[in-house]
Amino acid sequence: MNMFSDIKSGVIVDATFGGGGHTRRMLDRNGLTVVAIDRDADAAANAAELASDERFVFVRGSFGNLDQLLDAEGVQSIDGVLFDLGVSSHQLDQPMRGFSYRHPGPLDMRMGDGPLTASEIVNEWAESDLASVISRYGEERFARRIARAILAARPIADTAALAAIVREAIPAATRQTGGHPARRTFQALRIAVNDELGELERGLDAALDRLSPGGRCVVISYHSLEDRIVKQKFVAAARTCVCPPGLPICVCETVPQVTIVTKKALGPSEAEVIRNPRARSAKLRCCEKVAA
């Protein structure tokens, strides 16, 4: 479903450019200008292929700084914004980026050039802090066992060694269910390294403020932590009353900022999953800005 099909002209922000697939589809439609944002150096290289299109602008940076990035480009309001969250297939397929638990690579996991790496968390953080990250961001019930195993094995040199340690820390009966045993731990480390949830909250706040009336915010998330933030932000922005419970009538005169287009998160079709198995967990939510 194309959530931007009703937008015939204006500025769309592709907040997670990646390989540029979404941007290319949007540029296929006349009347749209796309401002693409990404903090990844590989994404900047991909953007060079579109540099000759005057309707395209690429900005290197994190969508958590959306306000500053758009200000620098002189863009005051936008007609649509797309966040396609998580790690891209391109990043996963490059072992040297350190995102994959299936191939050996350095413990990096940075999406940009930030100072914190997975190696610092794995090899230097206290056991309690490490367990907290794995539990909170990975929703891993064996977080304490995994943290203890990691500390006992330090120093850990690469992703393959870490994946093996996590696998052995999880009870054997549990290893056979729910995908690769290290998946949740790697997700947690990646989120912590890149401050993904904080970036999402800041990016969504800025996007909703910048949308012009009728403009749409579309978010594709891949795990429950992201989806929960998106749902809560949309619900809060769509509220028509913020009066304390118990008042007999509304006195706050709250005007909703958006209407929610997708009452429930939309999942991929069977054809989409066949084409890209990594899309299986994707959830799409959309809201539309209302007139002030």
Question: Predicted confidence band at 6 (pLDDT cuts at 50, 70, 90)?
Answer: confident
pLDDT in tens, 188-211: 999 999 999 999 999 999 999 999
What is the share, in percent, of the chain residues with pLDDT greater than 70?
99
Cα–Cα distance measured from residue 70 to residue 11, given in angstroms and rounded to the nearest whole number: 11
Statement: residue 1 has pLDDT above 70? no
Contact predicate 282/221, CB 8 Å: yes
Q: Which amino acid is at 260?
A: I
What per-residue confidence (pLDDT) applies to 249?
85
Res 178: pLDDT: 67
Per the prediction, the chain carries an average pLDDT of 93
Measure CA of the first residue to CA of the last residue in the chain; give whole Å.
27
**All domains of the chain, ordered by start, with CATH?**
10-84+196-289 (3.40.50.150), 93-194 (1.10.150.170)
| Statement: residue 76 has pLDDT above 70 | yes
**Over 90: is that where the pLDDT of 292 sits?**
no
